[in-house]
Amino acid sequence: MQQAFLQLSGELNFDISFQEESMYRRMRRVICFDMDSTLIQTEVIDELAMRAGVGDKVKEITEQAMQGKIDFAESFKERVKLLKGLDVSVMQEIVETLPITEGLDRLISVLKKVGFKIAILSGGFTYFGNYLKEKYQLDYMYANELEIKDGKLTGNYIGDIVDAKRKAELLKLIAQVEKVDIRQTVAVGDGANDLLMLETAGLGIAFHAKPKVIENAKQSLSSVGIDGILYFLGYKDSMLDGELLQK
């Protein structure tokens, strides 16, 4: 049987989820989130670029990468090079004013109470991912590490790039570590570099995503906050506002 969730808000906007009804739907145990434009309402690399005086150039490259028009890894290298010489103090300034996505506090609270393991799998940067991991006491965080020398960004990065392929690999790895079937996993993201992760997960959700992602994802959430994911997981308002949140 197919399950569909429709949410109308203001104009005629639809959030749709088609899921096979099975024992796995209510047995999800691992959820992996993209970070930029998913958990936070900005692209951190764009914020860094504005302070480095290359905002317009980097923003254009970021948008093309998220739309899937250019290779993510190559775009990542190109953008990071443009940040060379930026003082690391800027990162602290940005992290202190990160715009958290509407509904995130509620979502994380419920996910923890029902026993989910929660991960950030980000094409962004560890500095900001670690901040969110600590703030919400999440279980896993993988992102890209910027190289720093003498208190400034060098324009280089350390380690492998967390691109689309790597995100999917990490999702599988976390499922193995947690000893859960891949069908018990959930992935949430907005950009083209999230598509493979969404396809790999038992439930992949495009959240306020780019057109290409919405077109290819089976589940799409665009008209409500990120806590709308709870409906896709099978939780009703009566459960969320009542007994569940009192535990």
- Residue 199, number of CB atoms within 10 A of its CB: 14
Cβ contact 163:70 at 8 Å: no
First-last CA distance in the chain = 32
Residue from 34, 163, 190, 227 carrying the catalytic annotation = 34
Active site residue 34: yes
Sequence-ordered list of residues with C-beta below 8 angstroms from that of 24, at least 6 positions apart, any chain: 181, 183, 184, 202
Tracing tokens 């923890």 back to the chain, one arrives at 112
Consecutive H or E run containing 231:
helix 229-232
Please tell me the chain's helix, strand, coil percentages from 3-state DSSP, rounded to the nearest 5: 45, 20, 35
Record the tokens describing residue 52, joined without a space.
């480095």
Record the tokens describing residue 180, joined without a space.
């859960």
Instruction: Give the length of the chain.
Output: 247
Residue from 36, 46, 163, 190 carrying the catalytic annotation = 36
Q: What does the alpha-carbon distance between residue 143 and residue 202 come to, in Å, rounded to a whole number?
A: 22
Cβ contact 188:40 at 8 Å: no
Active-site residue numbers? 34, 36
